[in-house]
C-alpha cells in the first residue's frame, strides 16, 4: 500500500511506505521543483520528443507492452450551422514559424479573442471515416506524423512496454474510466495507448494551452480516442476542453490523471457528485500536489490521491535529469544565443533548479542562485554557486530562469531594472511565477519574434525576451527525453492500478506516496535498457544488513 503524508510533509526524502493499518505522517516543506516537456519554437519539420508523465500499472507492478494501431483514417470537415459562409475557416496546423506574424508588432492585448477564434477548431465539426466525432483537435490530416512520433517514443520507454507485456493480459484496469489532463505529447500517446490496452476507457485534454503536439492529438483521434486539445488554446477554450472530457453523456470518470491540479479542481467544483464517486487521483506536479494537500487539509478531498511528484524516481530522475537536458534545448531553440560566458540567475534550487544550474554551468554560464530554504541554499554553496537576492543582480544578468511553483517571484519592478536583451523563462509548473499580466500595459509593446518568443519593448527601447509567455517553458519550447518520462509514466500506471484494484476503505481520503518497494520495481524495469546487471545478496549478507533479499534495500528515511 502507498505511504501517506500529512499536509505538513511530502518532501521526497520523507517518502515513507506504510500499510493500510499504519500510516506514517511526516513533516512537509515546500521546495523548488517542477517538471517539463514539449516544444515551442519548432522548425518546419515535425520532429520532436515530448514528455507526458502518465501511464498505467497493475497492483503487482508489472509492465505491459503497447501495440500501436497501424490503420489511419481520413476526415471530413463540416461547418457548424452557427458559422456563416463568410466566416468559414478550415483549421490547419501552423508548422513553420515564418507563417505566424514573424517580426511583426503585436499590441499589448496580443491574445485577443478575435485572433484566437479564427484558428479555433471549435468552429467546425470533424469526423473520421469511421464516423468517430467525439473529439476536438486542430488538423487530422497530420495524424501520420503523430503516429510515427508515438512509435518512436515507445522505443525509448522500456518500463512502460515491459509492464504492458507482464500484465496486459490480465486487464487490471478493465472498467476503469480515466480522465486525463496532462501535456499531450508523443510520450502521453504511449501512456494513453497503454492504459487502453490494460482495459481502461479514457478521455484526455491538455494541462497547458501551448504544449499540445497537434499531430499526436490527431493520431490518437484516428484511433477513436476522445481528445480535446490543440496548441494555442485560449483560457476559455482550455476550460471548455476540460468540461468536454468530464461531461460526456453517461460516461463518468472514476480515476483522474492530473498535471497541475486543474482537472481535479474543476471536477470538485463543477461536478461534486462525480468527484465524490472517484476511486482515486494521480498527480504528478508539485503545484498540483500543493493543491491536493490544501484540499485534504480543508476536508474537500473526496478520494485518495497519489503524490507522484515526490516519489524517489520522479524527484531523482525526471525532475533533475530531464530538465538538465531540456533547458539547454529550450534556450537554443528559442534564442539562438551563445550561452558560454553569460550571467544567469536560477530562482529556486530544488530538484529542477539543481538540474538547470548544473546544465548551464557545464556550458560555461556564470550561474548564481536565489533561495528561501537555508538547506537548499547551503547545497548550492557547496556546488560552487553564489546565493544572492534577485533584486541585487537583476541589473546584471543575461538570463533569468524560475524553478519554483511560487507566485510573483519576478515582478514588474524587477523587470524594469533588467538590462535590454535579458531572457526570461519559467521551468516551474505555475504560470504566476513571472508577473506577465503586469507587462500587458499600454506603455509596453509586445513584438512576436517567433512562435513562443516575445520581445517586450519599453518606451526607452529596452527589450526583454519572454519565452512561452511566462508559462512552463519545456512543454512549449522543447522536448523531454522519452526514457525519463518512461520512469514517471510507469510509476503513474502502477498508482492507477493500485487505486483502482484496492479494496474499498484501504485508502482514506488523503494524499499518499508510492512505497519504496514500488520505486525499486520501476527502476528494475529500466535497467535492462542499459544492459545493467544487479548483484544479488547472499542470505548471510541480507541478514547482516537487516533487509529482504528482494528489497526494499533502503530505509524510508534514506536520501538518494
SS (H, E, C) 422-484: CEEEECCCCCCCECHHHHCCCCCEEEEEECCEEEEECCCCCEEEEEHHHCEHHHHHCCCCHHH
Q: Which residues of 175-202 are buried (b: 16+ CB within 10 A; e: fewer)?
A: ebbbbbbbbbbbbbbbbbbbbbbbbbbb
Query: Is residue 440 situated within a structural domain?
Result: yes
Helix 262-270 vs helix 235-246: crossing angle, to nearest 10: 70
Range of the domain at 410: 321-477
| Nearest CA-CA partner of 63 in 486, 552, 419 | 486
pLDDT score at 515: 86
DSSP 66-123: ---------EEEEE-TTS-GGG---------GGGTTTTEEE-TTTT-HHHHHHT-GGG
CA distances from 94 to 101, 152, 213, 232, 370 (A): 11, 22, 11, 10, 38
3-state class of 7 per DSSP?
Answer: coil
Based on the domain organization, do 531 and 485 belong to the same domain? yes
pLDDT score at 476: 61
| Nearest CA-CA partner of 224 in 207, 243, 194, 203 | 203
Based on the domain organization, do 400 and 496 belong to the same domain? no
| Nearest CA-CA partner of 431 in 53, 36, 29, 106 | 36
The CATH number for 440's domain is 3.40.50.720
Based on the domain organization, do 332 and 425 belong to the same domain? yes
Based on the domain organization, do 174 and 289 belong to the same domain? yes
CA distances from 209 to 163, 229, 310, 442, 558 (A): 31, 8, 25, 25, 38
Enumerate residue ranges in the chain where pLDDT < 50.
5-117
Q: Which residues of 248-269 are buried (b: 16+ CB within 10 A; e: fewer)?
A: beeeebbbbbbbbbbbbbbbbe
pLDDT score at 473: 83
What does the angle CA 478 – CA 483 – CA 485 come to, to the nearest 5 degrees? 65
Q: What is the dihedral of CA 300, 234, 224, 261, to 10 degrees?
A: -20
Based on the domain organization, do 490 and 470 belong to the same domain? no
Query: Is residue 370 situated within a structural domain?
Result: yes
The CATH number for 300's domain is 3.40.50.1480
Query: Is residue 393 situated within a structural domain?
Result: yes
- The structural domain count of the chain equals 2
Based on the domain organization, do 310 and 330 belong to the same domain? no
Q: How far apart are CA 363 and CA 339, in angstroms?
A: 7
pLDDT score at 32: 36
Query: Is residue 55 situated within a structural domain?
Result: no
Each as own residue / partner, the long-range contacts of residues 263-266 (CB below 8 Å, 24 or more positions apart, any chain) are 263/179, 263/180, 263/181, 263/205, 263/207, 264/288, 264/291, 264/292, 264/295, 264/305, 265/291, 266/239, 266/242
Cell of 557: 528515511
| Nearest CA-CA partner of 556 in 511, 528, 525, 514 | 514
Q: How far apart are CA 194 and CA 171, in angstroms?
A: 11
Q: Evaluate whether 325 touches 359 at the Cβ level (below 8 Å).
A: yes
Query: Is residue 441 situated within a structural domain?
Result: yes
Residue 84, C-beta contacts closer than 8 angstroms, at least 6 positions apart: none
Query: Is residue 548 situated within a structural domain?
Result: no
Query: Is residue 58 situated within a structural domain?
Result: no
Based on the domain organization, do 198 and 332 belong to the same domain? no
| Nearest CA-CA partner of 486 in 85, 125, 187, 123 | 187
Q: Which of 458, 477, 496 is the last residue of a domain?
A: 477
Cell numbers 521546495 label which residue? 31
pLDDT score at 128: 85
Task: For 294-337, list the strands marked E by DSSP.
Answer: 305-307
pLDDT single digits (tens) 286-320: 889 999 999 999 999 999 999 999 888 888 887 77
Based on the domain organization, do 389 and 417 belong to the same domain? yes
| Nearest CA-CA partner of 279 in 503, 515, 5, 490 | 503
End-to-end Cα separation, the chain, in angstroms: 21
Q: Evaluate whether 281 touches 293 at the Cβ level (below 8 Å).
A: no
Query: Is residue 559 situated within a structural domain?
Result: no
Based on the domain organization, do 230 and 284 belong to the same domain? yes
pLDDT score at 10: 36
Based on the domain organization, do 391 and 435 belong to the same domain? yes
pLDDT score at 121: 87
What does the angle CA 98 – CA 467 – CA 258 come to, to the nearest 5 degrees? 110
Q: Which of 428, 458, 477 is the last residue of a domain?
A: 477
pLDDT score at 80: 38
Q: Which of 460, 477, 494 is the last residue of a domain?
A: 477
pLDDT score at 68: 38
For residue 552, cis peptide bond before it (omega within 30 degrees of 0) = yes
Based on the domain organization, do 281 and 409 belong to the same domain? no
β-pairing, 343-347 vs 366-370, is parallel
Based on the domain organization, do 375 and 451 belong to the same domain? yes
Q: What is the pTM of this model?
A: 0.71
Amino acid at each position: 500500500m502507498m505511504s501517506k503524508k500529512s499536509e505538513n510533509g511530502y518532501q521526497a526524502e520523507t517518502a515513507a511506505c506504510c500499510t493500510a493499518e499504519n500510516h506514517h505522517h511526516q513533516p512537509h516543506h515546500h521546495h523548488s521543483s517542477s517538471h517539463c516537456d514539449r516544444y515551442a519554437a519548432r522548425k518546419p519539420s515535425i520532429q520532436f520528443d515530448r514528455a507526458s508523465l502518465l501511464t498505467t500499472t497493475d497492483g503487482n507492478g508489472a509492465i505491459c507492452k503497447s501495440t500501436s494501431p497501424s490503420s489511419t483514417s481520413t476526415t471530413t470537415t463540416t461547418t457548424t450551422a452557427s458559422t456563416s459562409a463568410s466566416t468559414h475557416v478550415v483549421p490547419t496546423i501552423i508548422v513553420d514559424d515564418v507563417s505566424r506574424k514573424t517580426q511583426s508588432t503585436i499590441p499589448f492585448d496580443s491574445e485577443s479573442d478575435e485572433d484566437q477564434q479564427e484558428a479555433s477548431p471549435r468552429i467546425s465539426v470533424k469526423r473520421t471515416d469511421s464516423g468517430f466525432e467525439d473529439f476536438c483537435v486542430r488538423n487530422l490530416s497530420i495524424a501520420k506524423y503523430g503516429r510515427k512520433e508515438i512509435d518512436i517514443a515507445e522505443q525509448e520507454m522500456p518500463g512502460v512496454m515491459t509492464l504492458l507485456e507482464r500484465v496486459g493480459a490480465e486487464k487490471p484496469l478493465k472498467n476503469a474510466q480515466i480522465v486525463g489532463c496532462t501535456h499531450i505529447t508523443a510520450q502521453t500517446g504511449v501512456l494513453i495507448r497503454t492504459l487502453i490496452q490494460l482495459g481502461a476507457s479514457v478521455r484526455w485534454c491538455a494541462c497547458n494551452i501551448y504544449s499540445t503536439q497537434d499531430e499526436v492529438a490527431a493520431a490518437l483521434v484516428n484511433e477513436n480516442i476522445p481528445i480535446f486539445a490543440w496548441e494555442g488554446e485560449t483560457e476559455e477554450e482550455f476550460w471548455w476542453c476540460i468540461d468536454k472530457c468530464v461531461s460526456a453523456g453517461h460516461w463518468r470518470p472514476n480515476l483522474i490523471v492530473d498535471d497541475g491540479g486543474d482537472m481535479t479542481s474543476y471536477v470538485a467544483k463543477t461536478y461534486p457528485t462525480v468527484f465524490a464517486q472517484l476511486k482515486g487521483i494521480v498527480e504528478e506536479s508539485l503545484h498540483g500536489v500543493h493543491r491536493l494537500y490544501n484540499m485534504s487539509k480543508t476536508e474537500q478531498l473526496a478520494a485518495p490521491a497519489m503524490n507522484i511528484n515526490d516519489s524517489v524516481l520522479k524527484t531523482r530522475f525526471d525532475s533533475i535529469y530531464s530538465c538538465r537536458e531540456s533547458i539547454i534545448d529550450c534556450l537554443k531553440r528559442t534564442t539562438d544565443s551563445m550561452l558560454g560566458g553569460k550571467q544567469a540567475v536560477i530562482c529556486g534550487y530544488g530538484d529542477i533548479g539543481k538540474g538547470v544550474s548544473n546544465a548551464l554551468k557545464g556550458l560555461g554560464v556564470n550561474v548564481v542562485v536565489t533561495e528561501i530554504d537555508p538547506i537548499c541554499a547551503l547545497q548550492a554553496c557547496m556546488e560552487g554557486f553564489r546565493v544572492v537576492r534577485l533584486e541585487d543582480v537583476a541589473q546584471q544578468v543575461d538570463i533569468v530562469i524560475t524553478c519554483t511553483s511560487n507566485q510573483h517571484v519576478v515582478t514588474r519592478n524587477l523587470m524594469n531594472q533588467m538590462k535590454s536583451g535579458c531572457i526570461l523563462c519559467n521551468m516551474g509548473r505555475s504560470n504566476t511565477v513571472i508577473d506577465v499580466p503586469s507587462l500587458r500595459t499600454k506603455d509596453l509593446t509586445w513584438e512576436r519574434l517567433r512562435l513562443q518568443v516575445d520581445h517586450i519593448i519599453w518606451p526607452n527601447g529596452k527589450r526583454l525576451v519572454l519565452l512561452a509567455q511566462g508559462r512552463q517553458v519545456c512543454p512549449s519550447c522543447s522536448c523531454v527525453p522519452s526514457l525519463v518520462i518512461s520512469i514517471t509514466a510507469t510509476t503513474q500506471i502502477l498508482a492507477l492500478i493500485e487505486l483502482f484494484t484496492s479494496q474499498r476503505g484501504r485508502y482514506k481520503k488523503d494524499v499518499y506516496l508510492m512505497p519504496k518497494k514500488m520505486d525499486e520495481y520501476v527502476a528494475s524495469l529500466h535497467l535492462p535498457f542499459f544492459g545493467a546487471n544487479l548483484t544479488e545478496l547472499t542470505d548471510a549478507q541480507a541478514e547482516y544488513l537487516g533487509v529482504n533479499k528482494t528489497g526494499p534495500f533502503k530505509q524510508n528515511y534514506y536520501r538518494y
